[in-house]
A and B are shown apart, each in its own frame.
Chain A
Amino acid sequence: MPTLSFASDVPEYKIKASFIYNFARFTQWPDDNNELRICIFGKDPFGFHADDLNGKKINNKTIKVVRTRLIDEVKSCNIVFLNIIPPERHLFERALNKIKGGNILTIADADNVVSFGVMIGLIIEDNKIGFKINNTAIQASDLKISSQLLSLAKEVI
């Protein structure tokens, strides 16, 4: 079956950066800002692959990639990639609790992160990158994601 292959020549976080970009394309935020802030919380795994997103436009919103280690700074972001190490439940729950109600699309790539309350969790399955969605968390916010995302997700909780 033809599918997206996790080719060795494409770096993992280049793909993940494009995933984040694509998630943004299938998500609607309730605000009218012309800036779409993508925050990378914690240690930056993307490097310049994240910078490639800077300046790209989605529905008249210009992407701005922000890197931060302070959870409070995350509150002004539209998307946050939570790179919490070690990836334990209570750490994610505390961070998520801090930014609760901010209409921020939360993404992480640690195991089981959607069960910790993260909205989208990137996974590697059969040597391919895929994702899981915590629809309960998304529905608790004012964000709207395309149903196509739900259908592409490996798992929806």
Chain B
Amino acid sequence: MGFTHTNKFLSRLSIQNKLIVINLSVTSVALLFAVIMAVAGEYISKRDFIMGSLEVQTKMVGRNTTAALVFNDRDGAEKVLQAFSASPNVLTAIIYNEAGDIFASYIKDDNTVDAKAAGKLDVFDGTKITKAHQHQGSTVLDDKIHITQTINFEDRPIGSLFLQADISNLYDDILNYLVYTASVALLGLAIATLLLLQLRKSITYPLKKLTELMISVTKDNDYSIRVDNTNDDEIGVLSQGFNKMLAHIQSNDEKLAHELSERYRAEEHLDKLAYYDVTTNLPNRHSFHKQLDDAVERAITTKQKMVLLFLDLDNFKTVNDTAGHATGDLLLKQASSRLSNVLRQNDYIYRIGGDEFAIIIENMNDINAVSIITNKCIESLSNPFIFDGKNFFIGVSIGISICPDDAITADELLIKADMAMYEAKIRGKNSFQYFDQEMNELHSHKYQLESDLRHAIKEDHMELYYQPQVNPADGSLTGVEALMRWNHPEKGIILPNDFIPIAEETGLILPLGKWLIDTACQQGKQLIESGLHDITIAINISAVQIREHTFIDNITCALKASGLKPESLEIELTESVLMNDSELVVQKISQLRALGIHIAIDDFGTGFSSMNYLKSFPVSKLKIDRSFISGLPTGTEDAAIVQAIIVMAHGLNISVIAEGVERKDQVEILCDYNCDTFQGYYYAKPMKFSDILDLNYPKKSTNN
């Protein structure tokens, strides 16, 4: 219990106080033990010395009294006994004769204690003494020593000497000695304490420093502090370990700080990317939607008019297509800059699409002022843009909607501005148009179509038609092109040209495209299994589709699900898709080719005069655009172009297919040009899947 208390007490103390308590306790115990041992030793040795010397004295005196006893000379004996007067301890000395009678005695002069008291009477009692000298020896009674010594002469006892000595001074001596040694011990303890107070610094000072440092590190989170301790003891090792740990934390801290700042910069960058358009440095569509929402809300709460301008550049696509994307981008940049310059301080412009911009004008109660701004915008773009010494002319069509007059939600406001812009374009480019209710009805057709298209995908109103591709030599089927048809429940069959642009615009092209891939693979497999082993199934893929990140997965999944071999699939891409120099597209085409899928270039000859790109793409087929074929055989220019394409393609080991073949003379001249395959009404129209299965084409093998 006591020990537990002690431990509790100790645990509350600081290390340096613990050290002091422990050291002093140990030192005290050791010193106490030493004092006890020294005093006990001193007592024993002093007592033994006194006893020994008294015994020797007794023997000597006893021997010296033999003659007195023999001569029966009491005076002589007492004279001899007087020798004890030199021994201050001796109180009484008595010589008994042979008969046990007192023969001579010595009593110390100042012996007032025992000499005349009972003790004396006792020792003078003869009978007792007889007994005493039979038991020769020494006894210690309290502070008295009794020694009895037989006196022999001629080998015969002739008497005895009894001695009583006071050893109380021994106790005094021992007490003095105790006081002395205790003082020395206390002095030692004091010196030990002083030494300890000095020496503990060597232990507790570094510990204290370490503790202070730790507290300072914890408080300030400053990990650059280091312990200054070069000792080799455990504290030194501890300090080194502590320093290493601090260094480690510091470096981690710095790394973390660095990482955080990097992340912050990355986030800032991403944020900028998310809200800004890189090409023009204008806030982007994302930013626009946010600002529009806020602006509408402000307009409604402040009861101020807010004007939305929807701008679409005229002829931009032409510039982009003829002068290239880089020039297109430069033009966008300059156009943005010109537009920004005509705006007032609180009006904001956003790039919300390829060549589409939006301007938000708040607190605009004077509608006439809107017209002024709009005109300025148109004027600013009317001067030509000059790149590489060439003049490029563009215009802008602007649609205007006003909150809350035309709409009180951002979405509606945007739709109405868009409608107004379309109206402006229709009425003649480079103009502006305010939204009015008539427009709403006129353009509802477009939005109806979009909604119907969504519905159609869900309700499976889409269908694939297949147009055969034929080898003119034997009339055998080499492949089919899958073409999408929309079976509109009210409007009947709608062709791709009428809904694909809307699908691309709205993003519906993606589910639509996936449906096409899945269905074509599945039905293509059935066709092959019907006996048409060597045919390819061609599908059209738009630029939007190929950019989608799941595109390759969609293809491989469809192949796997249907069991169609990759070699039996042909993907038709337009030149514009290939000409997009995006690394992503190049990579995806290479991946498709690596899978074994054939790549065909659709509408070949309509886009670019350069054909160098054919060398860098793994293209297996060229599809000559129907516009060239329709001119055959009379159009000499078209004939020359077609012939040149076929020669060049064959030189690159690329096969050539002519589409839109409608007449026999066209077939004949194309055969002269060594065109490989044909597709067109001359051979077959696009037909339903069930119909193509029924066609009786020569089959190369009847076995599966």
Instruction: Decide if B68 touches A148 in the complex (CB within 8 Å).
Output: yes
Residues of A contacting B419 with CB < 8 Å? none
Q: Would A25 and B79 be within 8 Å (CB), given that A2-B104, A59-B154 are in contact?
A: no
Residues of chain A within 8 A (CB-CB) of B678 are none
Among candidates B73, B102, B103, B153, residue contacting A152 with C-beta atoms closer than 8 Å: B73
In the complex, are the beta carbons of A4 and B66 less than 8 A apart? Answer: no
The 8 A CB mask of A117-133 against B (1 = contact, 0 = none) is 00000000000001000
- In the complex, A15 Cα to B413 Cα: how many Å? 169
In the complex, chain A residues whose CB is within 8 Å of the CB of B75:
1, 3
- Contact string against B for A residues 1-42, beta-carbon threshold 8 Å, 1 for contact and 0 otherwise: 111100000000000000100100110000000000000000
Please tell me if the beta carbons of B154 and A152 are within 8 angstroms of each other in the complex.
no
Contact A151/B103 with A2-B74, A25-B154 known, Cβ cut-off 8 Å: no
- Chain B 59-95 interface 0/1 with A at a Cβ cutoff of 8 Å (1 = within): 0000011111011111110111000000000000000
- State A93–B192 Cα separation when bound (angstroms): 83
> CA A11 – CA B73 in complex, angstroms?
17
Report the separation of the CA atoms of residues A19 and B72 in the bound assembly, to the nearest whole angstrom: 10
Contact B71 A22 (CB under 8 A): yes
Q: Are B67 and A152 in touch, CB under 8 angstroms?
A: yes
Q: List B contacts of A68 (CB < 8 A).
A: none
Are A25 and B70 neighbours in the complex by a CB distance under 8 Å?
Answer: yes
> Chain A CB within 10 Å — which of B66, B67, B78, B104 has the most?
B67
Select one of B66, B78, B154 contacting A148, CB under 8 A: B66
What's the Cα separation between A151 and B76 when bound, in Å?
Answer: 7
| Cross-chain contact A151 with B64 (CB below 8 angstroms) | yes
Determine if A143 is an interface residue (Cβ-Cβ < 8 Å): no
- Docked complex Cα distance between A6 and B207 (Å): 96
List of A residues within 8 angstroms of B64 by Cβ? 148, 151
B71 touches A19 (CB 8 A): yes
Given the known interface contacts A2-B104, A59-B154, the answer about A151 and B79 at a Cβ–Cβ threshold of 8 Å is: yes
Interface of B is mostly: helix
Is A146's beta carbon under 8 Å from chain B? yes
B79 touches A22 (CB 8 A): no
Asked if A149 is at the interface of the complex by the 8 Å CB criterion, the answer is yes
Q: Mark B102-114, 1 if CB is under 8 A from A, else 0.
A: 1110000000000
A151 and B80 in contact, given A2-B104, A25-B154, A59-B154 (Cβ under 8 angstroms): yes
Q: Are B67 and A4 in contact (CB under 8 A)?
A: no
The interface residues of chain A lying within 8 Å CB-to-CB of B103 are 2
Also in contact, A146 and B74, with CB within 8 A (given A2-B103, A25-B154, A151-B80)? no
Asked whether A3 and B74 contact (CB < 8 A) given A25-B154, A151-B79, A151-B80, the answer is: yes
Residue of B nearest to A153 (CB): B76
Whether B76 and A152, one on each chain, are in contact in the complex, defined by CB atoms closer than 8 angstroms, is yes
Q: Using a CB-CB cutoff of 8 Å, which residues 35-88 of chain A contact chain B?
A: 58-59
Contact status B67-A151, CB under 8 Å: yes
Q: A130 vs B65: C-alpha distance in the bound complex, in angstroms?
A: 16
The interface residues of chain B lying within 8 Å CB-to-CB of A25 are: 70, 153-154
Contacts of B80 in A (CB 8 A): 151
Given contacts A25-B154, A148-B66, contact A4 B78 (CB under 8 A): no
Bound complex: CA of A45 vs CA of B381, how far in Å? 186
CB-CB nearest in chain B for A129: B71
Residues in chain B near residue A26, CB distance under 8 A: 67, 70
* Cβ contacts under 8 Å, A58 to chain B: 154
Report whether A22 and B76 are in contact in the complex, using a CB–CB cutoff of 8 Å: no
**Pairwise interchain contact A22-B74, C-beta atoms closer than 8 A:** no
B71/A146 in contact, CB under 8 A: no
B93 CB, min distance to chain A CBs, angstroms: 14
In whole angstroms, what is the CA distance A59 to B154 when docked? 8
Query: Do the beta carbons of B71 and A1 come within 8 Å of each other?
Result: no
Residues of A within 8 A of B (CB): 1-4, 19, 22, 25-26, 58-59, 130, 146, 148-149, 151-152
Q: Can you sample 22 A-B contacts with CB below 8 Å? A: A1-B74, A2-B102, A2-B104, A3-B73, A3-B75, A19-B71, A22-B70, A22-B71, A25-B154, A26-B67, A59-B154, A146-B67, A148-B64, A148-B67, A151-B64, A151-B67, A151-B76, A151-B79, A151-B80, A152-B68, A152-B73, A152-B76
* Contacts beyond the supplied A1-B74, A4-B72, A59-B154: 13 A-B pairs with Cβ under 8 Å: A1-B75, A2-B104, A4-B71, A22-B67, A22-B70, A26-B70, A148-B64, A148-B66, A148-B68, A151-B64, A151-B79, A152-B71, A152-B73
The 6 closest A-B pairs by CB, nearest first: A148-B67, A3-B74, A152-B76, A2-B74, A4-B72, A3-B75
